[in-house]
Each structure stands twice: as C-alpha cells, then as structure tokens.
Amino acid sequence: MKRARPSKKAQRKESAPRAAAKRAVRRRERPAARNRAPVRRSGGADAIAAARAAWEKGVFAPAVARAPLRRTAFATDSGIPIGDLLTPVDRRHEDYLRDIGFPGEYPFTRGPQASMYRGRLWTMRQFAGFGTPEDTNRRFHYLLGQGMTGLSTAFDMPALMGYDCDHAMARGEVGREGVAVSSLADFEVLFAGIPFGDVTTSMTINASAVVALAMYVAVAEKAGVPRSALGGTLQADILKEYIAQKEWIVPPRPAVRIVVDMIEFCSEQMPRWNPISISGYHIREAGATAVQELAFTLADGLGYVQECVGRGLDVDDFAPRLSFFWDVHNDFFEEIAKFRAARRIWARELRERFGAKSPRSWMLRTHAQTAGVTLTAQQPQNNVARVAVQALAAVLGGTQSLHTNSLDETYALPTEEAATIALRTQQILGYETGVDRVVDPLAGSYFVEQLTDEVERRAREYLRRIDEMGGIVRAVEEGFPQKEIAESAFRHQREVETGDRVIVGVNRFQSGGAEKIPTLEIDPRVAEHQGRRLAEVKRTRDPAAVERTLRAVADACRGPRNLVEPVLEAVKAYATLGEICDVFRRELGSYRETGTF
C-alpha cells in the first residue's frame, strides 16, 4: 500500500527542531569574537603577516599567560628549532616546481612513483634468521603464509665476520643473532621451497656480502632460476661498518673495491637485483641524529658512485639499482622530512654532480625499518605503539619497503607470535587506515615543507665538509663521522639520564616489578648440528676444485679482475665462506681502527 507523502507545511514543521539544534551547535562551536584575529577573506603576505601579529598579541599571548608553555624552546631530535606557528608567509620564497614538484618526477620530493601506494603497497618484510638453516626456512614459509611479501635474512655473527661455524672465533655465537651459514649446502637448506622468481630477498650482510651473493645465485641456478630473473637486495654497505657497526674483514679501500665489483657484476648480469642497500639504519642505531644519518648515508652513496665512475662505469648503467635503507625513530615529522629531503638531495646530486641523464638514476628508492634502539625492555608492550608510530612515519615519508620490529627484540630474536604482531601492524596501516589513498598527503604542510628544507640544508653542510676532506673514504679514515656520532650519542644519553628526554616506562611512568614475556630460545646444539654438516661438506667435495677456485680468488684480489665470478666458482665447488674470506684477509690485509676522540 502506498503511503501518502506529508505536505510541504508538515515537512517544514518536522525540520524546524532539527534546524534549531544545528544553529545551537554552530553557536557553541563558534569562537568568541574577542578571541579572534581580524578576518581577512583574501590578501597577500602583508595581510597574513598583519593577521599573525594580531593573533600573537590577542590570542596567543593571553593563552600563554594563562597556561605557560611546557618548554622555553621546542626543537626536533636533531636540534632544529620549531617555532610557535607557520603560515604561508614562511613559504613565500618557495618554488613549488623546483623544490616539491610531482610524485614520480624530479626532484622526487613527493615520492619515486607517480601513483605510490594507490598502485601498489610497499613491500612488507620481517627480519628472519636464527639457529640452523632449517629453523629459518620454517620461519620464512610461516611468514610468507601470513602475507609477508618479501624475505629479509639475518645472518649470525660468524658469517658476518667471515668465519665458518667451526672456527674458534665462532664459539658461542653460531646461530645466535641470525642464521648460521658456512657453505652452499647451508644456502640450499635455507632457501628450500622458496619461489626465487616470485619473491624478492633481502640479505643483511656486509663484509662477506660477495660470498652471500654468490651463494644465492648458485642455489637459485640449481633450482632452475637464472641470475637475470632474481630480484632482491644485498646490503653490502661496508662504509657504514667503519662508521657505525664495526664489522669488517679488510681495510676500507679494498673493501670498497669489492663493493664496486658487485655493483658492476649486478648491473651487467642481474638487472632486477639491488647490489647494495646504502644503510643509514646502523648509523642511526649507533647514536646519530636524523640529520647525521641522512648526511653520512648519502655521503656513502655518493662515494660508491664516485668509485664506480672512476672505474669507467656509466652512471646510468648502475645508479638505477642502488637502494637505500633508513632508520625510523620517534620524532614523527622529522623522520618524514628526512625521507623527502633524501630523495631531493640524491636527485640533484646524481643529475648535477655526476651528469646522470636517466630519471631512474635520479630516483632514490628505499627500505625502512623501525628503530630497534628505541625499544625498551621495561614495559615491552609499549614497543607495539612505538613501532606503529614509526611505521606510519615511514609510510607517510614514502618508503618502498618496510620492516617493523617486534616487541620482544630487546630480549632476543623475535618469537613467531611477536613477528606476526609486527607484520599485522603493517597490514593494518596498509589496509585499514587509508594512508594508501593519497599520494604524499603531507605535501604543502607549512611545517613539513619547512622541516624538509632545514633537514636538507643541514645535511648539505655535512656533505660540504666531507667533500673538503677529500670524500667519504678519507673522512672515515680520519674518524670524522665516527666522532660526530659519538658526541650525538653522548648528548642523547645525558638527556635521558637527566630526564630532559622522556622515555616512557624507563625514566618516567615506570611500573613496579619486572615484566616477563615469552622469548625465542636458540637450541644450544645448533653449533654441533652445523659443525656436522660442514664436516660432511668438506669430506665429500672435490679438494682439487676447491684449491683451484680459491687460487683464482686470490689472483683476482691481486689484479684488476672482478671478484664476483671467481667467488661464485669457489662457492659452487663448496669452498666455505670462511675459506674465501681467509683469502681476502691474506691478500687484501687486515684493519684495526685507531681512536681519534
């Protein structure tokens, strides 16, 4: 039965109470006239400046008188001052097309891709690597089953330092901080059942990175996947080891030569592979500020480019496959500004300093990881909130790949449950928050744009000083970045101890008693298990082939030949990681850092 529609007069009567309610709400929400600066519907910089002066006198000053500011001065964690208010007047000299531009176009301030996450979400990675290759392989398959879209491999300390699991220097460390690998046999187990052609793999290894690259290529080719089809990233950033992490095998200059060999090899034979991830992460974890992380990391990158060009490589042949790796801390807006400034500096340096002609060479692509050093053993559940905020900063900053730390990483390597929570954090960001719907949503923010400019200016000042020293390798040899980071770390710790810097649950808002959470236990028999496998490899391999291929590696060390192919042949003969790195130590020398502080 059709209902009769109410008359227009009745509709007006029904809507009257609702209209009155709306008028009342508007009256309540409208600021009192005496607290408002004069309204100017239009006007240029002079009108805005006059309105701001009136606001400061009539609104801001009385507010501060009633409730004094919590600090006499506000600044970012890098010490960049933050004013009370920013307006279009503060951006009057901005050249939008020159300094900001459009996503996917020079200078890439707004992101390396035109559509960013509207086209494809960032690659979600979780660091995995512990115990035996069997242990880590199971974790790989578990995380892929939970929706992870890229592998990220951590290696144990012996592998990072170029020692086999049966070496005296490996005692007590086998499989403790990452997966234990000594030979190609370990890689065969580690990546068993992994679809090499479909999944990208990141490997966090530096001093012995060339061996890990060769093992990955060899195991993929045994599975029928050619090296040209492999996608992934090798960290391989040896300069940041001398600056921050302190894990090296040979002196800086021959170590950089090996990195250039890998860049050259990959640019010719592995077009989908990133031969180096120039890493600010460990620089920041050592105590650097955001500005220092940006400056020293870009200086490392520019140093590698200079070495490659000096060898005669065309910058446009290798630069498009260089990638970066940033740490993401708690200072939300400064971290976002760091990402944006990094892309702009890199684009300008590659185009103007090195004459790169391809837009892909100007484009800085990056992986990011939330800050391990910010996680606390006290109230570890708080780490979930820290990681979520840091991950959001990375996404708003425009990362292409992201690892979120697990809440238990101050105690041990992550448990399966903790790693799943960290992965779910990324998935919630990607699928529930709406951050994927707008490209660079913070562009045009007076604060973000000013902060981006200031982070760039301060980073460029560091780059100028490093250039005056003769480049980053010379600066590292003189201990310049190391000294700057040490002083920054000291200032940070002093602020924590005095209470000027609040760490929730540590120096404020503590709770009584220790909190216990489940942690990952590494089977103490890992070293024994790995030792048996290594002994079997040595028993069954061809000793003559091992000797011949190791001799070829030594010859390449002494001459101009690229090292990657000889190392690959040695790996295929089942020469071990330690045996190959012993050749490096013997032929290229050892290194001990001298204190300069």
- Does 36 score more than 80 pLDDT? no
pLDDT value of position 3? 46
Per the model's pLDDT, the better-predicted residue between 93 and 438 turns out to be: 438
- Are the C-beta atoms of 326 and 338 separated by less than 8 Å? yes
Instruction: Please report, as a single letter, which amino acid is at residue 117.
Output: Y
Residue 443 contacts residue 107 (beta carbons within 8 Å): no
Mind listing the pLDDT tens digit for each residue in 103-161? 999 999 999 999 999 999 999 988 789 999 999 999 999 999 999 888 989 999 999 99
Dist. CA 176–CA 393, nearest whole Å = 31
pLDDT of the residue at 37: 43
Whether the predicted pLDDT of 346 surpasses 70: yes
> CB within 8 A of 71, min separation 6: which ones?
none
What domains can you pick out in the chain, each with its CATH number? 96-498 (3.20.20.240)
What confidence tier does 226 reach under pLDDT thresholds 50, 70, 90?
very high
81-82/74-75 β-pairing: antiparallel
How many CB atoms neighbour CB 22 within 10 A?
11
Give the pLDDT score at 33. Answer: 40
Per residue in 491-540, pLDDT (tens digit) is 999 999 999 999 999 999 998 776 788 998 888 899 999 999 999 999 99
Give the Cα separation of 494 and 318 in Å (integer): 43
Q: Which residues on neighbouring strands pair with residue 365, listed in sequence order?
A: 323
Q: Using one digit for the tens of pLDDT, what is the confidence trace for 165-220?
A: 999 999 999 999 999 999 999 999 999 999 998 889 999 999 999 999 999 999 99
Place 292 in a pLDDT band, splitting at 50, 70 and 90: very high
Q: Which two tokens stand for residue 186?
A: 């370990």
28 band by pLDDT with thresholds 50, 70 and 90? very low
Q: Is residue 34's pLDDT more than 80? A: no
Q: 233 pLDDT exceeds 90? A: yes
Residue 330, number of CB atoms within 10 A of its CB? 15
What is the rounded distance in angstroms from the CA atom of residue 247 to the CA atom of residue 245? 6
Q: Region 353-381: what's the mean pLDDT?
A: 96
Q: What pLDDT sits at residue 21?
A: 46
pLDDT greater than 60 at residue 596? no
DSSP helix, strand, coil percent of the chain (3-state; round to 5): 55, 10, 35
pLDDT tens digit sequence for 535-549: 999 999 999 999 999
Residue 523 is predicted with a pLDDT of 87
Alpha-carbon distance values, 578 to 200, 215, 287, 504 (Å): 26, 13, 31, 44
Q: Quote the crossing angle between the two packed helices 332-348 and 382-397, to the nearest 10°.
A: 30
Q: Grade residue 18 by pLDDT with cuts at 50, 70 and 90.
A: low
Q: Say what the pLDDT of residue 377 is.
A: 94
Q: How confident is the model at residue 16 (pLDDT cuts 50, 70, 90)?
A: low
The contacts of residue 48 (CB under 8 Å, 6+ apart) are 40, 87, 88, 89
Q: How far, in Å, CA of 383 to CA of 362, rounded?
A: 36
pLDDT of residue 15: 52
Residues 6+ apart with CB under 8 A from 428: 388
Task: Give the tokens for residue 380.
Answer: 């570890």
Please, are residues 354 and 310 in contact by the beta-carbon 8 Å criterion? no
pLDDT of residue 460: 98
Q: How far apart are CA 300 and CA 292, in angstroms?
A: 12
pLDDT tens-place string over residues 162-175: 999 999 999 999 99
Would you give the end-to-end CA distance of the chain in angstroms? Answer: 91
Q: Is the pLDDT reported for residue 1 higher than 60?
A: no
| Tokens of residue 113, six digits | 């891709």
For 300-317, what is each residue's pLDDT tens digit?
A: 999 999 999 999 999 999
Contact 244, 483 (CB under 8 A): no
Nearest residue to 278 (alpha-carbon basis) of 161, 178, 159, 366 = 366
Confidence of residue 42 (pLDDT cuts 50, 70, 90): low
- CB-count burial class (<10 Å; 0-12, 13-18, 19+) for 352: exposed
Q: What's the pLDDT score for residue 45?
A: 87
Please determine, for residue 329, whether its predicted confidence score (pLDDT) is greater than 80.
yes
Q: What mean pLDDT is reported for the chain?
A: 92
pLDDT at site 43: 61
Strands of 276-279's sheet, edge to edge? 273-274, 232-234, 200-204, 150-154, 123-128, 401-403, 365-370, 322-328, 276-279
Could you tell me the pLDDT band of residue 32, with boundaries at 50, 70 and 90? very low
Give residue for tokens 């003769």.
Answer: 470
User: What is the percent of the chain with per-residue pLDDT over 90, rounded to a whole number?
Assistant: 85
Q: Contact, 153 vs 203, CB < 8 A?
A: yes
User: Do the Cβ atoms of 291 and 454 come closer than 8 Å?
Assistant: no
Q: What is the pTM assigned to this prediction?
A: 0.89
> Could you tell me whether strands 401-403 and 322-328 are parallel, antiparallel, or unpaired per DSSP bridges?
unpaired
Question: In which residue are the tokens 């035109």 written?
Answer: 114
Q: Amino acid identity of 274?
A: N
Q: 250-260 pLDDT, tens per residue?
A: 999 999 999 99
Distance CA 294, CA 142 (A): 34
pLDDT reading at 486 higher than 60: yes
